[in-house]
């Protein structure tokens, strides 16, 4: 976001409980199940999904306002939501972020210190299935080295990210290996 001042980060709605370091309106809009369901019934979400027993959604109004004012948006969403956005906005650009290994994914989840052991185990179990959706995206960035991953994302945003295209050599072996590794 610092490198691309024209970008805006979309803030999702969620029914998940707020973590101690999170701020309502900055990290998420934390809402009750009833509020979320009302927004959903009213057609208020561009995309929505249930992940780890919590609902998440992107406000259709927020996206429309940002785009109509000339701002590009980054939506940090899962593969389910990305499919809904692609269906509603075929011109969108999608990027799938992969960890370099399952071991590193586990290290990062544990290092956050925000989730119970049961949650971490479930996330790791479900990650293999989730990672199997990488082919549905335009680009894939492997988040091994943060600065390198950031540069790749910036190239995608600038329209010069061909080296991060989903069909590049060697990616299928890595991605499929991550998805199959249980």
Structure confidence at residue 115 (pLDDT): 83
Topology given in CATH for the domain delimited by 1-90: Rossmann fold (3.40.50)
Residues 46 and 61: their CA atoms lie apart, in Å, by 8
Name the token pair of 170: 């060697």
Domains of the chain: which residue ranges? 1-90, 93-182
What mean pLDDT is predicted for residues 67-92? 95
Q: Which residue has the tokens 């293999």?
A: 128
Residues 19 and 95: their CA atoms lie apart, in Å, by 26
Tell me phi and psi for residue 23, to 5 degrees. -120, 130
- CATH of the domain spanning 93-182: 3.40.50.300
What mean pLDDT is predicted for residues 81-86? 96
Residue 95 has pLDDT above 90, yes or no: yes
Q: What is the pLDDT of residues 2-42, one digit of tens each?
A: 889 889 999 999 999 999 899 999 999 999 999 999 999 99
Q: Tell me the whole-structure pTM to 2 decimals.
A: 0.87
Q: Is 93-182 the same fold as 1-90?
A: yes
Q: Quick one: DSSP state of residue 135? A: G
Name the token pair of 112: 């956050």
């Amino acid at each position: 976001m610092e490198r691309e001042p024209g970008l805006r980060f979309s803030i999702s709605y969620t029914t998940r409980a707020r973590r101690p370091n999170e701020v309502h309106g900055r990290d998420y809009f934390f809402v009750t199940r009833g509020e979320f369901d009302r927004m959903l019934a009213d057609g208020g979400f561009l995309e929505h999904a249930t992940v780890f027993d919590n609902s998440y959604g992107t406000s259709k109004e927020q996206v429309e306002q940002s785009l109509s004012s000339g701002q590009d948006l980054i939506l940090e969403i899962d593969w389910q939501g990305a499919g809904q956005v692609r269906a509603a906005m075929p011109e969108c650009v999608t990027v799938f972020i992969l960890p370099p290994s399952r071991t590193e994914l586990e290290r990062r989840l544990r290092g956050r210190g925000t989730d119970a052991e049961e949650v971490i185990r479930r996330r790791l179990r479900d990650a293999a299935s989730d990672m199997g959706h990488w082919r549905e995206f335009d680009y894939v960035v492997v988040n091994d080295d943060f600065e390198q991953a950031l540069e790749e994302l910036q190239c995608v945003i600038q329209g010069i990210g061909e080296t991060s295209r989903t069909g590049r050599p060697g990616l299928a072996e890595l991605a499929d290996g991550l998805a199959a590794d249980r």
